[in-house]
A and B are shown apart, each in its own frame.
Chain A
């Protein structure tokens, strides 16, 4: 666990390489106020993204009581592959993380197809959409969908945005079943992708430190651009998804939004409700865990969902039949939303 105080002794530089003259303690305080983040989790050095993926997958398999040998698809969403940890930042994606997960889980069935999905932060949710499509087409009857990331290994210690990012993994089993009431399973989805100047909003880049050799690449984010893009395009995508489900805003029990930044997430969900003439977000609709888990990219939504599903978040409970909306935005830039009947 890494608290905000960890960063109070850092020297932060601007994008142009000049030392920020604001004391680090004040930078950290302002950061916390905007993002809501108080602490985050980094994986131990000997744990890689595929290790966390396999651990999360094992829990999902146990929870679902499925026989792992009957899994048709393993979809692993990530953006940086396995990274060894301290001393090496080389990305390792051959073989795919999904293949590694299959091996770690001891699955021998050759008809179980593992593959990776790189789609920015919305990767896990996109995996869910892909799995749903496989199931609806008859190409699969179930899928293991995982999101895993070790962002702590691609952050620039001289960039204040690095405080946002963290490590984590989440997983679920999606299984195709014939009708279970009017609102069960994935009801609708909406995906949007903008790849013009938006491709530069979140990407890899050199350190902000001016005296350091720029060979290593780190995750870089144009925060203002991301904020404006998200606020403009995510709420309509969420609305399109909910409308396509056939349900109304009053039917919605909870919104599980990618834990990117507390203020941004609140603004997105507020704007979403405003599209329905509701000028404030209703109470208990928006669970958040960014305060203690940070932004671990593809892992935020499945982790948050698991916390609520297992009654680990006060004031947030789910019951069978509850209508929920997942939504995410991230590098690409990509946006997606899924309307789901909890079952």
Chain B
């Protein structure tokens, strides 16, 4: 997916329970990933390269408690085929 498509998806979604909405990301060649998009200070830099920080469901609870960006991983948006709300 392109930067514009992904950003549009992020902006359009309504927050869930006052928090970021959980999304399902489908990839070209691997299993789906579920999690939330997060914005760190490097968001503009990453966005420009179609890279996105995502905290997967597995680490969501710990991330929500600590806000520690180390729980996020960078994904290449060019590998996404579909974004959907969970």
Contacts and interface: CB of A to CB of B under 8 A. Distances in A.
Contacts of B76: 250, 253, 282-283, 285
Nearest to B45: A277
Interface in A283-298: 283-285
B75 A282 contact: yes
Contacts of A253: 76, 79
Given A278-B46, A283-B75, A317-B30, 4 more contacts: A248-B49, A253-B76, A276-B49, A317-B28
A46 interface: no
B85 to A, nearest CB: 21
A316 B27 CA distance: 11
Nearest to B41: A279
Interface in A226-256: 248-251, 253
Q: 7 nearest interchain CB pairs? A: A317-B29, A250-B49, A282-B74, A283-B73, A277-B45, A280-B74, A250-B50
B51 interface: yes
B73 A282 contact: yes
Nearest to A250: B49
A74 B51 CA distance: 41
B42 A250 contact: no
A332 B13 CA distance: 55
B75 A278 contact: no
Given A250-B76, A277-B42, A278-B45, A319 B28 contact: yes
Nearest to A318: B29
A283 B46 CA distance: 14
A316 B51 CA distance: 18
Interface of B: 28-31, 42, 45-46, 49-51, 72-76, 78-79
Contacts of B73: 280, 282-283
11 contacts: A276-B49, A277-B42, A277-B45, A277-B49, A278-B42, A280-B73, A281-B74, A283-B76, A315-B31, A317-B29, A317-B30
Contacts, number: 48
Contacts of B42: 277-279
A284 B45 contact: no
Residue from A276, A281, A283 whose CB has the most chain B CB atoms within 10 Å = A283
A279 B73 CA distance: 10
Nearest to A248: B49
Nearest to B77: A250
Nearest to A251: B78
Contacts of A316: 30
A121 B42 CA distance: 35
A72 B83 CA distance: 49
A197 B2 CA distance: 48
A11 to B, nearest CB: 39
Nearest to B31: A315
A284 B78 contact: no
Contact of B74 (A251, A278, A319): A278
A234 B72 CA distance: 26
Given A250-B76, A279-B42, A281-B74, A319 B29 contact: yes
A277 B28 CA distance: 25
A39 B45 CA distance: 39
A315 B28 CA distance: 11
Contacts of B50: 250
Nearest to A322: B29
A180 to B, nearest CB: 20
A276 B51 CA distance: 12
A279 B41 CA distance: 11
Nearest to B78: A250
Contacts of A317: 28-30
A238 to B, nearest CB: 16
A250 to B, nearest CB: 4
B72 to A, nearest CB: 8
Contacts of A278: 42, 45-46, 49, 51, 74
